[in-house]
Amino acid sequence: MAENGKLMDMLTGYASAHQHPFNIFVHMIGIPTIMFGVLIPLTWVATDVGGVIINLAHIAMLGFFAFYMTLDKLFAVVFLVFAMLIAWLAGEVGALPIATSGAIAAAAFFGGYAAQFIGHAVERSMPVLVKHPLQANLAAPFFTVVEMFKLLGFRDDLFNEVQQQISQRRTAGVSAD
């Protein structure tokens, strides 16, 4: 299989710390929740462009989408659809009084991260966030989309290759960092 090397490195590194089904489940809920918490305050900064309201949440998600396009176009497009839905919901909440929307944003952000740490405690693995915070925050939303494909049984060849590389790294004693 001739997958993008950057894609395989990212997936193998991230997936190696996310093997336990409970941890994966928690991430599938926690990562969108964290995104929601981050996007709410970003919706507070908006402008009208030709009758269309554009806010920082939209711009941030488009930035992630542009990066993900360099990894895998299909995953990137699916991410964009889900990200814009989360950005839309964040905009609805962001329109509430700032004390209310700020409290919801904080609860989503900190609650989502607490769930991630619980998932890693069950898996007994160090969260990627601790070792590589920027990499983890870039990879996590993408990994959520990738994991949806895996759960639906799509692109099994990709996931088989990721698991094979993880096994090879563990056999060779190579860290996933």
Q: Where are the domains of the chain?
A: 19-171
* DSSP-H helix ranges across the chain: 5-15, 21-42, 56-69, 73-94, 98-123, 128-131, 133-152, 156-172
pTM as predicted: 0.86
Calpha distance 118→20 (Å, rounded): 12
Q: Give 85-143 pLDDT, tens digit per residue.
A: 999 999 999 999 999 999 999 999 999 999 999 998 998 887 877 887 877 788 889 98
| pLDDT band at 175; cut points 50, 70, 90 | low
Average pLDDT, the chain: 89
Angstrom distance (rounded) from CA 64 to CA 48 = 22
